[in-house]
Structure 1
Amino acid sequence: MSYQVLLYYCYTPIDNPEQFREEHHRLCLELDLRGRIIVAHEGLNGTVSGTVESCARYMAAVKADPRFAALEFKIDEVPAHTFQKLHVRVKPEIVHSSLHEMKPYEKTGQHLSPAEFKAMKDRDDVVVVDVRSDYEYNLGRFKNALTLDIENFRDFPDRVERLEQFKDKKILTYCTGGVKCEKATAFLLEQGFENVYQLHGGIIKYGIEAGGEDFDGQCYVFDNRVAVDVNRVNPTVISLCHHCQTPSNRLVNCANPHCNAHLPLCEACGEKLAGACSEACAEHPDKRPYDGTGAYPKLSNHYNPAQGLASYGKSKVKN
């Protein structure tokens, strides 16, 4: 059986996100989709996996809603589900930031297709800016891209001063799928930057349509795959093993759950430290068993909105 992963977002007003969340959750359960979906007053953001047939039905259902008619799905073929469970949650924003007042559906940076981005990115009057977190760009980023030492996207406004020296240039931003760039470019415009652009569809779409050329390393993704190759033209590895500093794009979570650091660890060091990031974490009494992957996904809690919270509570106890 063939499966797909769908990555998508759409900034659009949702008047009653709680009601929408319940209806959307039921739809995903009916289609046996798994993944993470965020619903907010400002829109919808998600990554889900399912069979090709289920994904087709889901995409049709979402785009049938006029609010999401312009939504674009980034589609990747996979051999099986890339999530263990389904989460559909209501949150204040569809991407956590400190830019609550930004409304990308009213004002945002100019969208560039992958071909347009590729044609512009190396020009002298252009600065390419990565708006993702450090653990993401340390694994992979565009050649010569400017990174902003961000641990979390909410730090972005505090780093914009580093771009002041480039106000006379064209600012080209990028992220995984595009959702962060929408708010980042809206904020830059508010701060007086005039020539602000964003890679439409993000790194994932660039890999699909432009072969990923000049994207060094791998792209971090928020599912069980952890990272994916996007460059089919001139690929390379830029991340280094946290322990021995040899080139490695193998990401793990530290086996010590109290640390849980997300970092590159080569296979040799993974075996040596039993999946931990250090000898101290390897010796921690609560260290999780290491199976060679460095991934510790939670199993489904089988929550069904049709049966209410009581059923959810019982299933949580069982797990």
Structure 2
Amino acid sequence: MENTDYQILLYYCYAKIENPEEYREEHHLFCVENNIRGRIIISDEGLNGTASGLVEDCQKYMDFIHSDPRFAKTEFKIDSFDKHAFTKIHVRYKPEIVHSSLRHLDPNVKTGKHLEPKEFKALKDQEDVVILDVRSNYEHELGHFKNALRLDIDNFRDFPEKVKELEHLKNKKVLTYCTGGIKCEKASAFLLEQGFEDVYQLHGGIIKYGMEAGGEDFEGKCYVFDNRIAVEVNKVNPKVISTCHVCGTNSDRMVNCSNSTCNAHVPICEECGWKMEGACSEECKENPEKRPYDGTGYYQKNTNGYNPYKGLYRKSDKAEILK
């Protein structure tokens, strides 16, 4: 039987945080003391995170967030796993919970209409509908909805500039989607600001669509930001759409280039992975910064000397600095 002792949590919440640096320390310390690992962003505008832990520890973590009235509405996408999806915990303060260059927009004030997965599924194939992928190139090249419009962007912060190319679609219903829903909050709000009138977003993103609607018509795999790199979504009519970066054969096996100075996110088939030692090109294969390839194509940052308590203090004893 598959080991499901661990869970992976994907979530976000737009909510005003008056003292984000202070809350960052409180949040970080809770994670450390409850063996939660992952990448979490704390900002003046809210929370955004992917975290992993034992089932009981994840429940404590969700209870911790929900117990704060500011974050009571937080919705978690929960996936089972056989181990931690991260090697350490990072809780960082950043100006935005997703880098968008749209800090003036507050999704709690105005954003696209949320569609539950089954509603999205029922609407997506109608004649006057455009399905808009708001993710980056390396994400939608691995997997995307059938017939989706995909923008040529390397980072989400490039999205506002690309919207200029969509002027001819202002009379359409625009259905936005992303991995977990967070980018759509700002993307759909920006579309409304630019004069698009009929704007929607897939609530919970691709991940929730896979869990609740079987992932139908999502072609390929979904890129995720943890050790798994890519996950299956479609249980109804799956299809591999990506090709090996090296040989061109069909492959949805996503890797990071073993050359640390490149680190490109590309599909590479297993045969080419071993042949190229995890590198995306001959040049990268010969680079002295190439990391040892173990067949996964995922590389943890060096954890030597990592101390999760560094820079933290306990509120019960502020004089005690944890080195």
- TM-score normalised by L of structure 1: 0.95
Larger deviation: 86-95 or 261-270? 261-270
For residues 287 and 155 of structure 1, the distance between their equivalents in structure 2, rounded to whole angstroms, comes to 30
Structure 1 residue ranges without an equivalent (≥5): 312-319
Secondary structure of the corresponding residue to residue 6 of structure 1: strand
For residues 42 and 29 of structure 2, the distance between their equivalents in structure 1, rounded to whole angstroms, comes to 14
Which residue is equivalent to 2:207?
204
Structure 1: 4+ residue segments shifted above 3 A? 306-310
Say whether 1:184 aligns with 2:182.
Answer: no
For residues 145 and 65 of structure 1, the distance between their equivalents in structure 2, rounded to whole angstroms, comes to 38
Alignment equivalent of 1:288, drawn from 282, 286, 291:
291
Which residue is equivalent to 2:145?
142
Which residue is equivalent to 1:115?
118
For residues 288 and 69 of structure 1, the distance between their equivalents in structure 2, rounded to whole angstroms, comes to 43
Alignment equivalent of 1:60, drawn from 47, 58, 63:
63
Secondary structure of the corresponding residue to residue 147 of structure 2: coil
Question: 2:115–2:202: 8 Å Cα contact kept in structure 1?
Answer: yes
Say whether 1:268 aligns with 2:279.
Answer: no
For residue 303 of structure 1, report the CA deviation from its aligned partner.
Answer: 2.4
For residue 168 of structure 1, report the CA deviation from its aligned partner.
Answer: 0.6
Please list, as runs of the form range in 1=range in 2, the aligned pairs for 1:66-105 lying within 5 A after superposition.
66-105=69-108
Structure 2 residue ranges without an equivalent (≥5): 315-319
Which residue is equivalent to 2:39?
36
Question: 1:84–1:299: 8 Å Cα contact kept in structure 2?
Answer: no
Give me the CA root mean square deviation. 1.2
Alignment equivalent of 1:306, drawn from 299, 303, 313:
313
For residues 257 and 58 of structure 1, the distance between their equivalents in structure 2, rounded to whole angstroms, comes to 33
Which residue is equivalent to 1:46?
49
Secondary structure of the corresponding residue to residue 36 of structure 1: strand
Which residue is equivalent to 1:316?
none
Deviation per residue, 1:205-232 (Å, 9 max, x gap): 0000000000000000000000100110
Question: 1:85–1:299: 8 Å Cα contact kept in structure 2?
Answer: no
Which residue is equivalent to 2:317?
none
Question: 2:134–2:156: 8 Å Cα contact kept in structure 1?
Answer: yes
Question: 1:17–1:90: 8 Å Cα contact kept in structure 2?
Answer: yes
**In structure 2, what residue type is equivalent to 1:89?**
R
For residues 127 and 309 of structure 1, the distance between their equivalents in structure 2, rounded to whole angstroms, comes to 54
Secondary structure of the corresponding residue to residue 313 of structure 2: helix
Secondary structure of the corresponding residue to residue 247 of structure 1: coil
Question: 2:214–2:236: 8 Å Cα contact kept in structure 1?
Answer: yes
Question: 1:131–1:147: 8 Å Cα contact kept in structure 2?
Answer: yes
Residues matched between the structures, number: 311
Question: 1:84–1:298: 8 Å Cα contact kept in structure 2?
Answer: no
Question: 1:176–1:203: 8 Å Cα contact kept in structure 2?
Answer: yes
Question: 1:74–1:201: 8 Å Cα contact kept in structure 2?
Answer: yes
For residues 102 and 48 of structure 2, the distance between their equivalents in structure 1, rounded to whole angstroms, comes to 16
Alignment equivalent of 1:243, drawn from 243, 246, 250:
246
Secondary structure of the corresponding residue to residue 284 of structure 1: coil
